Amino acid sequence: MEIFPQPQIHMDKRQQMKDALQLCVDAHKDELHSLSRDIWTRPELAGDETHAHDRLVRYFSQDQTWTVDCHYKLPTAFRASWGPVGGGGEGGPALNVGFLCEYDALPGIGHACGHNLIAEVGVAAAVGLRAALQVHTELPVPVKITVLGTPAEEAIGGKIDLINAGAFADVDLVFMAHPAQQDVSFLPCVALTEVIVKYHGKASHASAYPWEGVNALDAAVLAYNNLSALRQQLKPEWRLHGIIKHGGVKPNIIPAYTELQFYLRTPQIRDLCDLKAKAEACFRAAAVATGCQVEISYPAHDYYDIVPNSALANLYENNGKDLGLQFPEQPANFSGSTDFGNVSYEVPGIHPFFYIGTDALNHTEEYTEAAGAEKAQLFTLRTAKALAMTAVDVVCCPALLQQVREDFRLAKLKLEK
């Protein structure tokens, strides 16, 4: 028995659309792998993904049915659009289905988070959905496909800049998927903020006349220890972790300048202000104790937690199981963060995680190798198909689309209380 209302388009026709998109993805598997591999072999850091941007733009530009905007609102973002089709000639606004691509890498270890595969999933799912819509154009509403290239997830939060620039204003649904150690339709990613703390003291000879100096390294060490002591008073799900980026220049010079970088995380964005206040008290106390001046800044956007959507998650699992995906019990804890969380507060969407054929952990050299391996292709393209099939279900059934929107409204309301 279906858990959703019967779609307006008959189930047999909807299956024909799903079959067509699977055949299309399979037919393009070599060029999709080449696209992913090309991005993998040329890893680029957040905001500098010029090669990946150009490669993805070139992929869509080779087919004139796509309208492509390079450097879309950000230097290394892009947009590729197709349609609208369907709607029975009644006009009205199109249902804009968005697929998101990431493609930035990590310093020193390349694509250790598999963003090259995220880009491949987004492209493959969009191409697959287009094939499905070309098979059956008698849709309840006009449908448009938009692929957004979203740079700088690892460091800056490119999706947040795109939100602020209006890139998601006309998008109705968003889909993307992230490599991991297993197939999961939803993981509760946590809210994140980055803080930079700079201490300014006074240099002096550390042996001849140390009393003339004001030791900025002492302030940094005290702040680090203050935060370590604070951890035992924090809620179990809260996280703070960081490094001393600059600790002085020479042992016989009292350090006049030090710098720390910390990440603060809470399960929900509404709790992040409390953790910020506690951490800032630790930073300022160290300055008072040592006589240093302190600067506290937040250089990047806050990453939000993800608004869940049970209707989309259930559909994705059903489609995924038909393709052979397995969904073991969800991990008890997950403390990763993503700027997709901010998107999920703006637009209903889904951000599943998918197995790529390895038990290696993200952000390791072993995962870098796995993300570029041919073995990952079966799992990557299977995930893309499941996303596109989920989109087919929604565009074929207005009642289901309404349920997706209602789930979004209620889940967001619950998180914002």
pLDDT in tens, 370-384: 999 999 999 999 999
Query: Taking a C-beta distance cutoff of 8 angstroms, is the pair 14, 133 a contact?
Result: no
Residue 51 to residue 132: CA distance in whole angstroms: 30
- Cα–Cα distance measured from residue 384 to residue 354, given in angstroms and rounded to the nearest whole number: 10
> Among residues 235, 263, 297, which one ends one of the domains?
297
List, in sequence order, every residue forming a beta bridge with 294; answer none if it has no partner.
199
Residues near 223 by Cβ (< 8 Å), separated by ≥ 6?
A: 197, 199, 260, 282, 283, 285, 286
Q: Which residues of 293-318 are buried (b: 16+ CB within 10 A; e: fewer)?
A: ebeeeeebbbbbbbbbbebbbbbbbb
Strand order in the sheet with 67-70: 67-70, 78-85, 143-149, 95-101, 173-175, 349-350
Cα–Cα distance measured from residue 373 to residue 396, given in angstroms and rounded to the nearest whole number: 36
Separation of first and last alpha carbons in the chain: 35
The pLDDT score that the predictor gives to residue 7 is 40
The separation between CA 169 and the C-alpha centre of its own chain, rounded to angstroms, equals 18
Q: Is the pLDDT of residue 183 over 60?
A: yes
Beta carbons of 191 and 304 less than 8 angstroms apart: yes
Question: Which residues make Cβ contacts (< 8 Å) with residue 191, sequence separation at least 6?
Answer: 265, 266, 267, 268, 269, 271, 272, 302, 303, 304, 305, 337, 341
| Mean pLDDT score, 278-295 | 98
Q: In the predicted model, is pLDDT for residue 12 greater than 70?
A: yes
Alpha-carbon gap, residue 379 to 352, rounded angstroms:
13
Q: Where does a domain end: 276, 297, 318?
A: 297
Query: Do residues 82 and 130 touch, judged by C-beta distance below 8 A?
Result: yes
Residue keyed to tokens 């099939």: 389
321 lies in the same domain as 397 = yes
Structural domain count of the chain: 2
Pair type for strands 143-149 and 95-101: parallel
Is residue 24, in this structure, part of any structural domain at all? yes
Stretch (H or E) spanning 246: strand 239-246
Q: Are residues 350 and 239 in the same domain?
A: no
Residues 173 and 310 in one domain: yes
Judge if 82 and 160 occupy the same domain: yes
- What DSSP assignment string belongs to 257-305? EEEEEEEEEESSGGGHHHHHHHHHHHHHHHHHHHT-EEEEE--SPPBPP
Shared domain for 217 and 270, answered yes or no, is yes
231 burial (CB, 10 Å; 0-12 / 13-18 / 19+) is exposed
Question: What is residue 3's predicted lDDT score, i.e. its pLDDT?
Answer: 40
Residues 363 and 223 in one domain: no
Query: 93 pLDDT band (50/70/90 cuts)?
Result: confident
Residue 213: give its domain's CATH number. 3.30.70.360
pLDDT at 263 over 60: yes
Q: Are residues 84 and 184 in the same domain?
A: yes
pLDDT of 30 reads 98
Amino acid at 3: I
CA distance 186 to 378: 21
| Residue 167 and residue 63 in one domain | yes
pTM of the model: 0.92
> Is there a domain that residue 1 lies in?
no
Nearest one of 114, 93, 100, 95 to 163, comparing CA atoms: 100
Query: Residues 79-101: what's their mean pLDDT?
Result: 86
- pLDDT for 341: 97
Percent of the chain with pLDDT over 90: 89
Looking at the structure, tell me whether residues 389 and 272 fall in a common domain. Answer: no
Q: Tell me, what's the pLDDT at 92?
A: 67
CATH number for the domain that contains residue 321: 3.40.630.10
Element (H, E) at 60: helix 50-61
**How does pLDDT run across 287-333, given as a tens digit for each residue?**
999 999 999 999 989 999 999 999 999 999 999 999 999 898 776 66
Give tens-digit pLDDT for 17-70: 999 999 999 999 999 999 999 999 999 999 999 999 999 999 999 999 999 999
Structural domain span for residue 251: 191-297
C-alpha gyration radius of the chain: 24
Tokens at 167, concatenated = 């890139």
Of 235, 253, 264, 72, residue with least CA distance to 168: 72
Q: Is the pLDDT of residue 4 over 80?
A: no
